[in-house]
Structure 1
Amino acid sequence: MGILQRAKPLSNIGAKQVGFTLIEMVTVILILGILVVGVSGFIIFGTRIFVESSSIDQVLSQSRFAVERMTRDIRNAVPNSVRLRTATGGSYQCIELLPIDSSTSYLELPIYPDDALVSGTVIDNGISINAGQYALVYPLASNSSGVNDVYQASRNKRFELQSSSSSANVLTLTFTGLAQFAEQSPIKRIYFASQPISYCFESPIGNSEVKLYRYADYGYIASQPAPSQMGTAVLMAENVSNNLLLEPAIKLTEQNLMRNAIVHIEPRFSVNGETFKYQHQVKVTNVP
């Protein structure tokens, strides 16, 4: 028969102590600090590159949209409606034009020397005519006195419409009053339009940054208006760096008997030390 004996506790004498020395802790802290500084520097550098690239991409997208919008409007302008104005001090440069809503050929219109009438007929090619639009026939550029056929009502090239009705592919126009167009169009062309628009590069006094704005719904003004005469604008683009006196953002080659009008769009954009410039030509292909 076995004999049970009580186990004796182990003695703690001579047990090994586990831990870190001060030198080891300082070394680890230094190594971790170096790693943190290196990683954070890498992250900051990558973040800065991302932010700068995003800013450049944003300006590129914005500028492309603005130039494309200008291009579409200019190509769709009523003949001889494009005109350019630059402020004497270079605080702004504006291009004004009248976008075409629709066009067709006319059949019968009150044109001098015929009597003035309140109606006329045109070919109905599916166009939509609304009250408040204007009919234009044979608009020409400014004459020697600086009077433009499109914007000067007394030239009798533009009359407001009250209504229209269609029957058998013929559209009957009703004007708001007696109308008598000044001249026949050589190709019997008639244009319909609503309101002029303007694109203005503006550089406020004391501010070197130039911004591009779009103005609309300010009506017909005989002399090309300044931005202060056109009401509220829509911001189209920022970060334009042109000196509008020395490096115009827009140039205009006016139409003559041998060529169409050509608009040169040449804005320069600068962001985060990067600069890029557009050199874009737009031809106004519409003819009276």
Structure 2
Amino acid sequence: MRKISQKQSGFTLIEAIMVMTITAVLAAGVAIFLRKPIDGYMDLTRRTELSDIADTAVRRISRDLHLALPNSVRSAQPECVEFMPTIDGGRYRTDVDASGGGKVFTTSDTISAIDVIGTLRTVPVNGDRIVIYNLGIAGADAYSGVNVATVTAAGSTTSLVNFNSTQFPFASPGNRFHILSVSEPAVSYVCTGLGMDAAGNGTGTLYRYSAYVASGTEPGACPVIPLGTPVLAQNLSACRFTYASGVTERSGLVSLRLGITKSNETVSLYQDVHVNNVP
């Protein structure tokens, strides 16, 4: 009988080891070439994240400051800024209408209502406050309440505002008034815990503190932030607010500088915000 022999083919152990070695060498070479592009992508992602955080914070602060009551911005320390946000405003009547009636503004006596020239966007609610001719100085400072009246009721339309009987010390040259919300009489942006940790990350936090009653006199330090206060930004390594009230005759200037740091990389953002100081 003839014997039929069949040969079996396959990899030997030596061949398998050689293939694994060659593959490892190729992988190491590819990794060297891919490392820089990957590191560059991670750096770009981190910078984009930091820039977005800083830009969002600056935009929110700028939007709030544009609604600040004229001459109400103040900064106790470089790490904070405080102001009174307005929700509406308009012009009041200074003379009777054609029929001899109307709620006319005067400083010679107490008044409890004013007619609005035009209409307000919304009807003020009980507890809102009306401010007239705020100069931010003694005798005309909304923080002390001398030129402020509390809204008691509004008319059926947005053309009449009722408030507790008040004798305002001054009239506005432009016949203007502003309205402050009862739910948010003052707002502070406060930076706390500024610095760097061992990993190269910023340790500071930026808060938006609101719904509190501000002090009648400018405090000497930033307010203490209570638990539950909304956080606007974290990982801050630098934060500075500067307010110049006399930059121009009609407006002040708030300068804001933020530095946000992660993994020893910092994104710095600087913004100037013009504040309308025409009362």
Tell me what 2:168 maps to. Answer: 181
Q: Which residue of 2 aligns with 1:117?
A: 111
* Aligned counterpart for 2:243 among listed residues 236, 252, 260: 252
**How many residue pairs get matched?**
260
Q: Which of the residues 254, 258, 268 maps onto 2:259? A: 268
Aligned to 1:199: 189
Q: With the length of structure 2 as denominator, give the TM-score of the two structures.
A: 0.80
Are residue 26 (structure 1) and residue 21 (structure 2) matched? Answer: no
Please tell me whether the aligned partners of residues 92 and 105 of structure 2 are also in contact (alpha carbons under 8 angstroms).
no
- Per the alignment, in what secondary structure is the counterpart of residue 22 of structure 2? helix
Identify the residue that residue 105 of structure 1 maps to in structure 2: 91
Aligned runs of 1:77-116 on 2, under 5 Å? Answer: 77-86=68-77, 93-107=79-93, 108=103, 111-114=106-109, 116=110
Q: Distance in 2 between matches of 1:230 and 1:24?
A: 70
SS at match of 2:55: helix
Distance 2:55 2:272 in 1: 14
Instruction: Choose from 104, 112, 127 the match for 1:132.
Output: 127
Q: Say which one has the larger Rg.
A: 1
Question: Structure 1 residues 227, 10: CA separation in 2 closer, same or farther (over 3 Å shift)?
Answer: farther
Partner of 1:212: 206
- Structure 1 Cα separation of the partners of residues 191 and 88 of structure 2: 28
Question: What is the identity percentage for the equivalent residue pairs of Structure 1 and Structure 2?
Answer: 25
The reply on whether 1:142 has 2:117 as its aligned counterpart is: no
Is the 8 Å Cα contact of residues 76 and 100 (structure 1) preserved in structure 2?
yes
Unaligned ranges ≥5, structure 1: 1-8, 87-91, 243-247
CA RMSD of aligned residues (A): 3.0
Alignment CA distance shift 1:30-1:256 (3 Å): closer
Q: Structure 2 residue aligned with 1:76, among 50, 58, 67?
A: 67
Any conservation in 1 of the 2:55–2:269 contact (CA below 8 Å)?
Answer: no
Find the counterpart in structure 2 of residue 239 from structure 1. Answer: 235
Give the conservation status (yes or no) of the 8 Å contact 1:105–1:188.
yes
| C-alpha distance in 1 between matches for 2:235 and 2:240 | 13
Q: Deviations over 1:4-29 (max 9, x none)?
A: xxxxx64235x545233332222112
Structure 2 unaligned spans of 5+: 94-102
Aligned residue type for 2:169: A
